[in-house]
Amino acid sequence: MARLAGVSQATVSLVLSPKPDGKGRIISEETRQRVLEAARSLGYVPDPAARRLAAARNNLLGVFSFTATFPTDVQHSYYPFLVGVEREAAALGYDLVLFTGSSTGGAGATGPDALSRVRLADGCLFIGRHTPRAELKRLVEDGFPVVHLGRREELEGVAWVGADYVEATREVVGHLAELGHRRIVLVREDDDAPASTDRQRGFLEGLVATGLPSGPTAVFRSADPQRELSPERLRAWVDEGVTAFVAEETDTGAAWRSLLSAVREAGLDCPGEVSLALLGSPPADLASEPEPTGFDIPRPQLGAAAVRLLAALVAGEEAREPLVSCVFRPGPTTAPPRARP
């Protein structure tokens, strides 16, 4: 105890825990220094558990992912988010605790108390798709600050931050319209994840906003794009006057991939005969090719925004973090449509 070293007692607490009230310092500068000095020489650090137990705060923010946070397959990792999470947490004065256990089941992956350990922190960030709803809800109901990284509107009351796919997609459509394209087709998979429906909404809104006919624009759906998006179908669209295609980004990149191969097989030149855009980033194995027109998801910023929101909740604020904007990425796959005979 620094108490013995110095001369005081739980005065230590007062000097070591700056009240957020700002002017809460009712400690004489002298004792303050004495305590600080003693703490330093003893290498004393307040126990986070005790601190939290005493109904105070730890300065610890949790990160919990439902799969391993560091999967062996680097492609699928949350790394880009973590970059922002770490930076923002540091900037805000929080340390990060990475709750393990979901990864291997070692320390209790399942069970009703799988999530209970996160209560050690002041609040917790959740990343990943397979969220145990009940547990999360329980946490929220208990007033524990929780933020989900990625849109999660079905989980009532769970705060989240996400990327603004609607606006970003609108922007891509706007770009095409500006180039002179009048008929555009959206290629998407048959899936109703928010990430997917958001893009479709943005696509339609984009058409409306630029005064393009939304009627004739086809929305392509398929669980098996390989088979459905045939070169013939593509060619038919082009013959009907379609000059641009936009594909959504998915885990597998299937939509984009099948679009590319259909274009190739149909012998169409890009961007000569058709313009192509990708609503997101290309899959890793296509990363070496020049990046197509589209937008980038600012993952580090998303991570940072999530931390900011979480910190606000921890501080008892009612803060609401808006959607994070994606950034438009110009590319060589779009150009003005060729004049038609």
**DSSP per-residue codes, 314-336:** HTT------PBPPEEE--TT--P
Decide: is 13 part of the binding site for DNA (CB under 7 A): yes
Q: CB neighbours (10 Å) of residue 341?
A: 3
Return the residue of 1, 4, 7, 90 that touches its own copies, per CB under 8 A. 90
Which of 307, 313, 256, 305 has its CA nearest to residue 285? 256
Return the residue of 22, 38, 40, 51 that touches DNA, per CB under 7 A. 51
Return the residue of 4, 41, 47, 213 that touches DNA, per CB under 7 A. 47
Candidate ranges 20-28, 88-96, 171-179, 216-224; the one touching its own copies (CB under 8 A): 88-96
Candidate ranges 6-14, 105-113, 206-214, 319-327; the one touching DNA (CB under 7 A): 6-14
Site for its own copies in 101-120 (CB under 8 A): 101-108, 112-113, 116-120
C-beta separation of 65 from 100 below 8 A: no
Candidate ranges 52-60, 88-96, 219-227, 319-327; the one touching DNA (CB under 7 A): 52-60
Binding-site partner at residue 169 among its own copies, DNA, none, CB < 5 to 8 Å by type:
none
* Nearer residue to DNA within complex by CB, 7 or 90: 7
Which stretches within the chain are classed as H helix? 2-5, 11-16, 29-42, 48-53, 79-92, 133-141, 165-179, 194-209, 225-228, 231-239, 254-265, 299-314
Decide: is 40 part of the binding site for its own copies (CB under 8 A): yes
- Cα(172)–Cα(74) distance, integer angstroms: 29
C-beta separation of 244 from 277 below 8 A: yes
C-beta separation of 165 from 196 below 8 A: no
Candidate ranges 27-35, 81-89, 297-305, 312-320; the one touching DNA (CB under 7 A): 27-35
Nearest approach in angstroms of CB 39 to its own copies is 9
Decide: is 207 part of the binding site for DNA (CB under 7 A): no
Return the residue of 1, 4, 98, 223 that touches its own copies, per CB under 8 A. 98
Which of 295, 279, 291 has its CA nearest to residue 329? 295
Q: How far apart are the first and last CA of the chain?
A: 87
Decide: helix, strand or coil at residue 95.
strand
C-beta separation of 179 from 239 below 8 A: no
Candidate ranges 4-12, 40-48, 166-174, 243-251; the one touching its own copies (CB under 8 A): 40-48
* Nearer residue to its own copies within complex by CB, 82 or 166: 82
Q: Residue for token digits 């555009």?
A: 184
Return the residue of 9, 33, 41, 226 that touches DNA, per CB under 7 A. 9
Burial class (CB in 10 A: 0-12, 13-18, 19+), 181: buried
Residues making contact with DNA (CB under 7 A): 1, 7-14, 16-17, 19, 26-28, 30-32, 44-47, 50-51, 53-56
Q: For binding to its own copies (CB under 8 A), which residues are involved?
A: 40, 43-50, 52-53, 58-60, 68-72, 74, 77, 79, 82-83, 85-87, 89-108, 112-113, 116-120, 138-139, 142, 144, 300
